Amino acid sequence: MLEILRVGTVAHVGVVTDWGPLVLPMVYGITDDTMYLHGALANSLLGAAADMDICATVTIVDGLVFAKTPFNHSMNYRSVVVRGRARLVTDKDEVLRSLQLMTDHVVPTWNVMRHPSPSDIRATRVVALSLDEMSAKVRTGGAVNDDEDESAPYWSGYVPLTARLGQPVSNDDAGDGIPTQVQNLVGQDIHARSHLDG
């Protein structure tokens, strides 16, 4: 399950509001036992989520599965659901550590950037979620057709889907060249993430 979380891109985080459930995408990072969540989009969510039960779901869609009838259509995917009580991170060292985790989760670039200032850290809201309660579902392979469809003259199978990283586009104010870690992404599948190990 950690391996799925390690290669996922965004978490869809659900909280209960006065108006019912709300689900928003957020960036995240993990240790072996904790998930850190962050996102400007989700600052209001983060405010509401502290000390509340939340659910963070990470899904990687790996393929489209075509059966001989739509009833048996499916997708190949890896998905992890983490549930628990959100904890607002207030310790400055833990905020800093979580920012490094969330940065390096996507691409390990912490060492080629300006590190957060004390005021950056004060302005950053991060929520921690224990990985104690999590479950995973994984589907792979082709379609499962009904027995009655076995000889039916329809195609079935699957089409793989990969999240492919393209050529970096530099900011006008970008100093220096493109870091090796970023340049190495070109053409990679972000959900395979071999560049994280290299």
Q: Kindly identify the residues of this chain, within the stretch 178-197, that bind its own copies according to CB under 8 A.
A: 178-179, 182, 185-186, 190
Q: Residue 32, class by beta-carbon neighbours within 10 Å (0-12 exposed, 13-18 middle, 19+ buried)? A: exposed
Query: 106 or 196, CB closer to its own copies?
Result: 106
* Per-residue burial over 164-188, b = 16 or more CB atoms within 10 Å of its CB, e = otherwise: ebeeeeeeeeeeeeeeebbeebeeb
CB of 31 to its own copies, least distance (A): 17
Closest CA to 141 of 157, 120, 121: 157
CB of 17 to its own copies, least distance (A): 9
Binding-residue pattern over the window 108 to 137 for its own copies, x denoting contact by CB under 8 A: -xx-xxxxxx--x--xx------------x
CB of 95 to its own copies, least distance (A): 11
- Binding of residue 81 to its own copies (CB under 8 A): yes
Question: Contact 129/34 with Cβ under 8 angstroms?
Answer: yes
Site for its own copies in 23-62 (CB under 8 A): 23-25, 27, 40-41, 52-57, 59, 61
Structure-block tokens of residue 86: 């959100």
Structure-block tokens of residue 31: 């240790």
CB of 20 to its own copies, least distance (A): 3
Structure-block tokens of residue 16: 């209960």
- Binding of residue 88 to its own copies (CB under 8 A): no
Residue among 32, 91, 93, 176 that touches its own copies (CB under 8 A)? 176
